[in-house]
Amino acid sequence: MNHAVERYLAPTSLTQALAVLAESGGATVLAGGTDLMPQSRAGRVKFARTLLNIRRVPGMDMVEVADGKLLLGALVTISTLVDHPLVRDHAPLLSQAADHFASDQIRNAATLGGNLCNASPAGDTLTPLMALDAEIELVGLDGTGVLQSRWLPLDGFFTGPGRTQRKPNELLRGVRLPVAPDDQKVAFYKAGVRPALDISTISIAFAARRRDRAILHDVRLALGAVAPTPIRARRTEALLEGKALTAELVRVAAASAASEATPIDDVRASGWYRKELVLNMTQRILEDVGNN
Amino acid sequence: MSEVLQSTAPSTLIGQRIPKLDAPDKAAGRTRYVHDIQLPGQLYGAILRSERVHARILRIDTSKARALPGVSAVITAADIPDQRPIGVVKDNLPLKTDRVRSLRDEIAAVAAESEELARHALTLIEVEYEDLSAVTDAADSLLPGAMLIHPPIAGAKSGDPVGLAGRDDNIAMRFDYVHGDVGQGEAESDVIVEDTFYLHYVTHCCMGVSGVIAEFDAKGNLLLYSNTQVPFLHKREFAEYLHIDPSRVRIIQPPIGGGFGSKLDIYPFEVICVYLARATGRPVRMVYTREEEFMASPTRQPVRLTLRSGCKKDGTLTFRSVHTLHDNGAYTSWGATTPVVMMQAFASLYRLPHCEYHTVAVYSNNPYAGSFRGYGNLQATFAIESHMEKMAAAIGMDPLAFRLKNAHVKGEETGQGNIFRSCGFQDCLKIAAERSDFLHKWREYTGKQKEPGRFKRGVGLAAMLHVGGGAKIYQSDGCGTIIKIDDFGHVTLITGASEIGQGSETVLAQLVCEELGLPISAVSVVNNDTEITPWDVGVHASRTTFVAGNSAIGAARKAKDKILEAAAPRFACAPEDLDMKGGGIVRKATGEMLTNLPRFIRSLHFAQQSDLVITTNYYEPPSVHFDKGYKGDISAAYSWAAQVVEVEVDLDTGAVRLVKVTGAHDVGRVLNRLGLEGQIEGGVVMGQGYALTEDLQVEGGKIRNPNFRDYKLVTAPEVPQMDISFVESMDGEGPQGAKGVGEAPAISMAAAIANAIENATGVRITSLPFTPERVYRALHGALPELPTTPKVAA
């Protein structure tokens, strides 16, 4: 299959897994494998000598609510994000976005942690989690073999296409995000050549609080596939923050979102078209929020 | 052992819904494709392909690969001094010698103990290239001084093919056709319309990737397990390439995971696999990866097309003049010959007094094009049926009336010499229009184009003509059948016609059972071994049901005649007084069952003057070859269809949703309704993919999306609602009146969708595909202008 791989390990504890990662030469981490395998076949990912399957590490597939936060383990599958009642109730935006993810077969194997660490600017769970103020936990062993943990805001985790703040000796253990407040309005939009089984041409995740058609609070607008990483459209968020949606504001905000996008031309679309989509669809999303 | 056959089946099998005979095994995962075959001692082959679009090969070093344990052979052109160029004009050496002309070009091959090992060995082969400037645009290929893709080779003998002699231009093939006098047609026109169309690359995407197993026996006879659609033609060709007697080549076809025309030609990998088997003395299996399937398979031919046509104010078409330019790619496969089919659409889809068509296929450093379901007709019909819409608008006629005005009727002969002995074209147009409420919706949506709103609806009509009774391209367009009825009344139908998933074995079994008065369970079909089956030209041109069907019916009739002649004296009557029905021999007048079939067959077999019931038949359709001007009645029957599509266009994104397809197909007669519906539905979806989602992106000779993630087939949620009607024109020559339909449903989809987008938005798009970005660009005037297709002097 791949002649670079000399050793396959499937540890049954987190410490074992982290110990393997801490070895010199590190390891290629395998969870669902739904991106890893095609990427390696296409020559875009080179395997390390050790292939580390983390799926047998216990506890990393948890879905829990505690202290006003939804906690999701890195091995939670995309299918779980679509179907799990806690995700549907407390992170409807994430659940909705996950239902745009690939096909059922891929959703059953692909993991949340894999989608995040893969760090594709077009990753389907990235923009909703950024719009929901998610944080991620990275764990690793220090020089004395003691487990160290650090939490980072998801926004800032991504440093480029396929690149993140994760150090080679670290694993992403899980994600936490505030449970959705009652007055949260969310919207997710994904463009593609076909309505299913597609990589997004662009994606937009929107979240804000709004009671009784009044002003918007805590506005979050995340854009996917329009920059080297998914981005928060912060200037547009600031334009909308504390305002009531008017036709004029919607128009200005949509133009602002498009100006924050810096997409490239690639096999899926041109940069020009991506900006047009951000403009048109931000406008549609805000109109829909305004009308509901 | 029951000898009494059940006769609860309906009185006729014709028109029934008969499940495919191979369906249970396929559904249960029991079907053994070429990928599943493991012969004792089998090795695995893999090919090293060029990493350059156009380059000289300076050095190949295979020493490291040869040294790898488990590798049995590594070969390059240097190891095969007797290589012969393959392909339609013999311009393709299986292993390239000193030059690569496209990214897929074969440089070396390995046979090893496992597929992994073989692929690993490829990475150890070193190749040094010197890049040459590349021609990756068909129009550039024609420019004076253009880089020659097959430059003349010094020392070639006169009469050597392109692969040995080269050429002093980049023209792979050309066709010039004319009937009538286009100048006179122009003079008689009230309106003349000219349009240019660009058609893109798509590829077949068979579920089963390409594969072959080659094995020599101790006497040097070659056995190929091959996915070919044309086993008998390939038997002869392989023999030629290998310098052996054709009778020493045997081809067995394991069940084929999709063909769609992709397996009409011999490709380098098949010949290379044979070289590896010869070099190692062991069976070698070579199966593509999916990426390789995209990179190294033929494509549908990309075409640039300029169409100029005229009509009178009353809608009568006066003339058509067409120029097309085909990007042939680096080598010539069947794609270069698609103009032969395209010219039929140009000349004969509508009543047309004057027509001319000039075309060239040019070499480039792009992937090379092959044959693909519809064989050029998708490209031609996209242009014609888009263009017809503009002409109708120019004279203020509705699209349906304009087509009906020019649509052929039974008995007409076209300028090309096609004779329409059965013709349901007018019915197809009327039924598709009526069942879809076409005219009403077309007017309604035209009126709503300028109204505000994000989503726009549109309807579009398009029609098509295709051969439906074979096509006399080769010396014979025939098919042979052997029928054997055994002591238990079981029928073995041995046919030359290959099954490639289209359902031919089921329909052939059905036709035989209908003749012999047997249930479908009484027959098994043998159709995949050239050592056993009689000759057939191959699966192409929508011909199998028609040609192999008539052949099978003929063999069944001979068997029936033999049985009834033997039976007549025993029942003291004439053979004409008897019939075969319900699994036995009956008195025709009364239906009285005289004997069951197994008992009667045994009485023939175990008698003093014993005899077996085995019959043969060869059917040659009464069509004719084209003359030198491409004129003649090339098919024994012609199939027609009209399709109305309804779309919804998202103005915000350019996304086009195909909502509904209403089709009416002149199929002659419905034989297996289930199989027919499957063919039509599958073809509609293939046409939908061609129009809306599929796009093999070739840039600078490189395929940018060689995988199913980025090459987008239509998936289940996009399959539209379908309302398909069948027009039964009862063709006099067809088997039970039927005509071929395999290619028909895909042909007019792109034109119908183009017309529907125009009806929805007022914007006419003349290049494919209609992906969201391209449609969005068109809506904003941001698609590039299409230059007129260059004319090439003869």
Domain locations in chain A as residue ranges = 7-53, 63-178, 184-291
| Residues of chain A found within 8 Å of residue B289, distances taken between Cβ atoms | 41
What's the rounded Cα separation, in Å, for the pair B489 and B496?
A: 22
Helix or strand holding residue B271 (H, E): helix B268-280
CA closest to B783 among chain A residues: A273
Average pLDDT over residues B147-166: 95
Give the tens place of pLDDT for each residue, B379-433.
999 999 999 999 999 999 999 999 999 999 999 999 999 999 999 999 999 999 9
What's the rounded Cα separation, in Å, for the pair A156 and B7?
A: 75
Neighbours of B419 (CB within 10 A): 16
Claim to verify: residue B330 and residue B309 sit in the same structural domain: yes
The pLDDT score that the predictor gives to residue B5 is 47
d(CA A148, nearest CA chain B) in Å: 38
Q: Do A201 and B772 touch (CB under 8 A)?
A: yes
What's the rounded Cα separation, in Å, for the pair B754 and B643?
A: 12
Among the partner residues A194, A276, A284, nearest to B718 by beta-carbon distance: A194
Among the partner residues B705, B716, B782, nearest to A267 by beta-carbon distance: B705
* B4: pLDDT strictly greater than 90: no
Examine residue B179 and state whether it is found in any structural domain, yes or no: no
What's the rounded Cα separation, in Å, for the pair B668 and B535?
A: 26
> Is the Cα dihedral A129, A130, A131, A135 positive or negative?
positive
Among the partner residues A41, A201, A272, nearest to B291 by beta-carbon distance: A41
Domain A63-178 has CATH 3.30.465.10: yes
Claim to verify: residue B655 and residue B760 sit in the same structural domain: yes
Is residue A247 within 8 angstroms of chain B, CB to CB? Answer: no
Claim to verify: residue B546 and residue B652 sit in the same structural domain: no
Claim to verify: residue B354 and residue B226 sit in the same structural domain: no
The pLDDT score that the predictor gives to residue A42 is 81
Claim to verify: residue B447 and residue B525 sit in the same structural domain: no
Q: State in Å, rounded, how far the first CA of chain A is from the last one.
A: 53
Q: A4 or B411: whose pLDDT is higher?
A: B411
The pLDDT score that the predictor gives to residue B136 is 97
Is residue A280 within 8 angstroms of chain B, CB to CB? Answer: yes
Q: Do A194 and B714 touch (CB under 8 A)?
A: yes
Give the tens place of pLDDT for each residue, B665-688.
999 999 999 999 999 999 999 999
What's the rounded Cα separation, in Å, for the pair B87 and B267?
A: 8
Give the tens place of pLDDT for each residue, B715-740.
999 999 999 999 999 999 999 999 99
What's the rounded Cα separation, in Å, for the pair A47 and A28?
A: 6
Examine residue B40 and state whether it is found in any structural domain, yes or no: yes
Q: Is B262 exposed, middle or buried (0-12, 13-18, 19+ CB in 10 A)?
A: buried
Which residue out of A276, A278, A283, A285 would a mutagenesis test of the B interface target, given it has the greatest number of B Cβ atoms within 10 Å?
A: A276
What's the rounded Cα separation, in Å, for the pair B703 and B707?
A: 10
Q: A211 or B670: whose pLDDT is higher?
A: B670
Q: State in Å, rounded, how far the first CA of chain B is from the last one.
A: 71
The pLDDT score that the predictor gives to residue B7 is 47
Active site residues of B: 743
The pLDDT score that the predictor gives to residue A214 is 84
Cβ(B743)–Cβ(B466) below 8 Å: yes
Examine residue B792 and state whether it is found in any structural domain, yes or no: no
What's the rounded Cα separation, in Å, for the pair B205 and B3?
A: 46
The pLDDT score that the predictor gives to residue B2 is 42
Q: Do B712 and A193 touch (CB under 8 A)?
A: yes
Provide the β-strand partners of residue A145: none
What DSSP designation does A175 have?
A: E
CA closest to B769 among chain A residues: A193
Q: Which CATH number is B569's domain given?
A: 3.30.365.10
Give the tens place of pLDDT for each residue, A162-179.
999 999 999 999 999 999
Average pLDDT over residues B139-149: 96
| Residues of chain A found within 8 Å of residue B782, distances taken between Cβ atoms | 272
Which two structure tokens, joined as six digits, stand for B486? 């055994």
- % of chain A beyond a pLDDT of 90: 91
Claim to verify: residue B347 and residue B464 sit in the same structural domain: yes
Strands of the sheet containing B721-727, edge to edge, are: B455-467, B638-650, B656-666, B721-727
Claim to verify: residue B735 and residue B749 sit in the same structural domain: yes
Examine residue B501 and state whether it is found in any structural domain, yes or no: yes
Question: Could you tell me the residue range of the domain that residue B248 belongs to?
Answer: 34-133+209-256+263-295
| Residues of chain B found within 8 Å of residue A281, distances taken between Cβ atoms | 652-653
SS3 B310: strand
Q: Do A193 and B771 touch (CB under 8 A)?
A: yes
Claim to verify: residue B419 and residue B440 sit in the same structural domain: yes
Examine residue B558 and state whether it is found in any structural domain, yes or no: yes
Among the partner residues A1, A267, A273, nearest to B776 by beta-carbon distance: A273
Q: Do B715 and A197 touch (CB under 8 A)?
A: yes
* B10: pLDDT strictly greater than 90: no
Q: What percentage of chain B's residues is helix, strand, coil (to nearest 5)? A: 30, 25, 45
In whole angstroms, how far apart are CA B317 and each of A216, B346, B465? Answer: 63, 12, 17
Among the partner residues A196, A281, A284, nearest to B715 by beta-carbon distance: A196
Q: Do A38 and B709 touch (CB under 8 A)?
A: yes
Confidence label for A2 from pLDDT (cuts 50, 70 and 90): low
Q: Do B652 and A280 touch (CB under 8 A)?
A: yes
**Of B585, B619, B653, which closes a domain?**
B619
| Residues of chain A found within 8 Å of residue B712, distances taken between Cβ atoms | 193-194, 198
What's the rounded Cα separation, in Å, for the pair A164 and B520?
A: 63
**List of residues 6+ apart from A215 with CB closer than 8 A:** A242, A243, A244
Cβ(B256)–Cβ(B498) below 8 Å: yes
* B8: pLDDT strictly greater than 80: no
Claim to verify: residue B290 and residue B312 sit in the same structural domain: no
Average pLDDT over residues B328-338: 97
Domain A184-291 has CATH 3.40.50.1000: no
The pLDDT score that the predictor gives to residue B662 is 98
Q: Do B652 and A281 touch (CB under 8 A)?
A: yes
Among the partner residues B697, B776, B777, nearest to A267 by beta-carbon distance: B697
Confidence label for A148 from pLDDT (cuts 50, 70 and 90): very high
**Of B566, B601, B619, which closes a domain?**
B619
Domains contained in chain B, number? 3
Provide the β-strand partners of residue B176: B358
Which two structure tokens, joined as six digits, stand for B722? 């379908």
The pLDDT score that the predictor gives to residue B793 is 78
| Residues of chain B found within 8 Å of residue A273, distances taken between Cβ atoms | 773, 776-777
d(CA B15, nearest CA chain A) in Å: 36
| Residues of chain A found within 8 Å of residue B714, distances taken between Cβ atoms | 194
What's the rounded Cα separation, in Å, for the pair B373 and B742?
A: 8
Kindly report the average pLDDT of chain B as a whole number: 96
What's chain A's Rg over C-alpha atoms? 19
Helix or strand holding residue B735 (H, E): none
**List of residues 6+ apart from B460 with CB closer than 8 A:** B389, B644, B645, B647, B751, B752, B753, B754, B755, B756, B757, B758, B759
* B6: pLDDT strictly greater than 80: no
Claim to verify: residue B657 and residue B728 sit in the same structural domain: yes
Claim to verify: residue B453 and residue B550 sit in the same structural domain: no
Q: Do B718 and A191 touch (CB under 8 A)?
A: no
Give the tens place of pLDDT for each residue, B16-37.
999 999 999 999 999 999 999 9
Claim to verify: residue B213 and residue B316 sit in the same structural domain: no
